[in-house]
Amino acid sequence: MKRVIINEENLDITKIDDTVIRVKALLINEKEELLVVHNNYTYQFPGGHWREHESLEETLKREIKEETGITVTIDSGPFMVIEEYYDDYLKIGRSRCNKMYYYIVHSNAGPKIEEMNLSDLERKTDFHLFYIPMKDMEQFLKESIENNSIEKIIGEEMLAVMQEYKEKMMGGK
């Protein structure tokens, strides 16, 4: 598993106040398309917050079911983790580590709106799902960053994940 550490403020990572763990999936169908979430005016891969009583895989299954209505099987562990360290995160006087674990999940099942269980925020915003051909994803993200239709940090993280997927899982093709 590739591990990327972003610690621009050179924090002592042994003295972090809070750690938030999330899981995300590159949810790929047999047409080699990725399922993408558009929510709160940005794009993301399906996934969400880990709960203490769950394994990372249980969290990923739950989050995919909640956001897409799709029941998935997780065949392997994460292929990448990105750890970001912040001092005075959100200006509340606490340091934070955000850990994002990325998985590859294959499913030909399409979204099932009737089985989704969105959060209040997701229901109140512009939440929707759509597929993008794998071959077009990097260009889509680059254009989204350029025209500000995706938050720059999220877009760059998604690009890094796509690059790692391309290099490790597809032999760099």
DSSP for 27-50 reads EE-TTSEEEEEEETTEEE-SEEE-
Report the pLDDT averaged over residues 148-158. 87
Is there a domain that residue 81 lies in?
yes
Q: For residues 84 and 114, give the distance between their C-alpha atoms in angstroms, rounded to a whole number.
A: 35
Is there a domain that residue 140 lies in?
no
Q: Quick one: pLDDT at residue 151?
A: 80
Is there a domain that residue 60 lies in?
yes
Q: Which residue reads 């995300």 in tokens? A: 24
Is there a domain that residue 123 lies in?
yes
pLDDT in tens, 67-118: 999 999 999 999 999 999 999 888 888 999 999 999 999 999 999 988 998 8
Q: For residues 43 and 129, give the distance between their C-alpha atoms in angstroms, rounded to a whole number.
A: 9
- Please name the amino acid found at residue 24: K
Q: Is the pTM of this model over 0.85?
A: yes
Is there a domain that residue 102 lies in?
yes
Is there a domain that residue 142 lies in?
no
Q: Quick one: pLDDT at residue 49?
A: 96
> CATH number of the domain that 45 lies in?
3.90.79.10
- The domain of 98 spans 2-133
Distances (CA, A) of 17 to 90, 127, 147, 171: 13, 31, 35, 39
Q: For residues 81 and 24, give the distance between their C-alpha atoms in angstroms, rounded to a whole number.
A: 10
